[in-house]
Amino acid sequence: MAWTVFPTAIGFVGLAWGEAGLLGAQLPEADEAGTRARMARRFPALVEVGPADLAAAAAQAIGGITALLAGEPRDLLEIALDLRGVPDFNRRVYALARRIPPGRTRSYGELALDLGDKGLARAVGQALGHNPFAPVVPCHRVLGADGRPGGFSAHGAALTKLRMLAIEGARPQGTASLFPF
C-alpha cells in the first residue's frame, strides 16, 4: 500500500493503491507540490514511493492514465478499484461512468435513467463530485443536460473538465475545443 505522483500532459497526477486495487487518484493541483500535499493528506497511513518501487498493477495504471491524458483512447477498465467504503449508489454511478467511451459524453440525467429514475440526476452529480478515482472513473465525461460542463472538483474546475474532453476529442453539442492539441 503506497502512493506516488507522476507527470501527465495536464500536470502531476497522484495515485494510491493497495492489495485490492486502486484506493484513489488525484487530478493535478496547481503544481506538483500541491498534488503531493493533497495525496499526503488523503492517504496519511500510506507511504510515498518513487517509480522504482511501484507495484506492477500501479505501474500499469500509471501507464494507462498517462496515455489517456495524452490523447490515446483508453477506457482504463483494466484498473481494479478498491471500492471498500464507497456507498452502493456511488459504486453503481461509477460503474456507469466507466462504460462511457473516451471521446464521448453522457448527461447526469442519462445516467440517472440508467439507474431507473431521471429524478436521481442531482444524486448522480453528487456521487461524481465525491469520485475518489478520477480519471479512472471518468466523471469528466458526464455533462449537464444542456451540454454544459456542470461542476468539477479538480483544480481549474470546468476548464480542466473541458480540457480533458478536448484531449479525448469529445465535442459536446458539436462545439469546437477551446484547447488546441
Q: What angle do CA 137, 143, 147 make, to 5 degrees?
A: 155
DSSP characters over 67-111: HHHTT-----TTS-B--TTS-HHHHHHHHHHHTSPTT--EEHHHH
Contact yes or no for 127/94 (Cβ under 8 A): yes
Here the cell at position 54 is 511501484
Residues annotated as part of the active site: 139
Cα distances from 3 to residues 44, 48, 58, 69, 86, in angstroms, run 10, 5, 9, 19, 19
Strand ranges for the chain from DSSP E: 2-8, 11-18, 21-26, 47-48, 106-107, 142-143
Contact yes or no for 61/22 (Cβ under 8 A): yes
**160 sits in which H/E element:** helix 157-168
